[in-house]
Chain A
Amino acid sequence: EAEVAQSPRYKITEKSQAVAFWCDPISGHATLYWYRQILGQGPELLVQFQDESVVDDSQLPKDRFSAERLKGVDSTLKIQPAELGDSAMYLCASSLYGGAGETQYFGPGTRLLVL
């Protein structure tokens, strides 16, 4: 069964350092999502791509976060500089077209700890 791949699974960094997370969606899925999940809370959407274009980044802290999906396949989320409050699980998800009521398939996530 096809799955969303993410790496690394765990990342420990010091504040003010740069970190990057990678996601490879299910093959053929046009829509890719990055979510942040703070411990004890549900996932919150950071950015949504349709192919290589950003369709929603309204909740992305653009002063320190950036995301790209250059060839419309895999994607990278970067934080620079990292802050203590960025400690969370970063989840990537994908769906076939991004249409209403379409299933989103999640990867295993990257757990980030900022010291």
Chain B
Amino acid sequence: GENVEQHPSTLSVQEGDSAVIKCTYSDSASNYFPWYKQELGKGPQLIIDIRSNVGEKKDQRIAVTLNKTAKHFSLHITETQPEDSAVYFCAASSNDYKLSFGAGTTVTVRA
């Protein structure tokens, strides 16, 4: 089955700086890569996703890049704000529709 690895496990950034989270996947058939944000006491919420026919996608301060050859994808958050503090999960799925999640990155934005 699919194996998704996520790094780093924790990330502390100064408010206004950028944060980058990287994930690798094992199944070359994977074609859908969502990113979820989980705040304390809440379920994961989708923040952005990318499909294998696209190399980069941007939504305001959040961007995701995908390198299918290397089987890795990354989340970039620019101009970080205190409300960006949360746990972020990457995930991957192929045509079996099953999402495999990374272990998560705890992001702390320091004021």
Contacts and interface: CB of A to CB of B under 8 A. Distances in A.
Contacts of B101: 42-44
Nearest to A99: B97
A107 B103 CA distance: 19
B89 A42 contact: yes
A25 interface: no
| Interface size class of chain A, counting residues whose CB lies under 8 Å from the partner chain | 20 to 34
B43 A103 contact: no
Interface string A9-51: 0000000000000000000000000000000111111001000
Contacts of B32: 100-101
B43 A101 contact: no
Interface string A90-115: 01010000111111111111000000
Interface string B32-75: 10101000011111100101000000000000000000000000
Contacts of A99: 97
A111 B97 CA distance: 26
B91 interface: yes
A56 B43 contact: no
Interface of A: 4, 40-45, 48, 56, 91, 93, 98-109
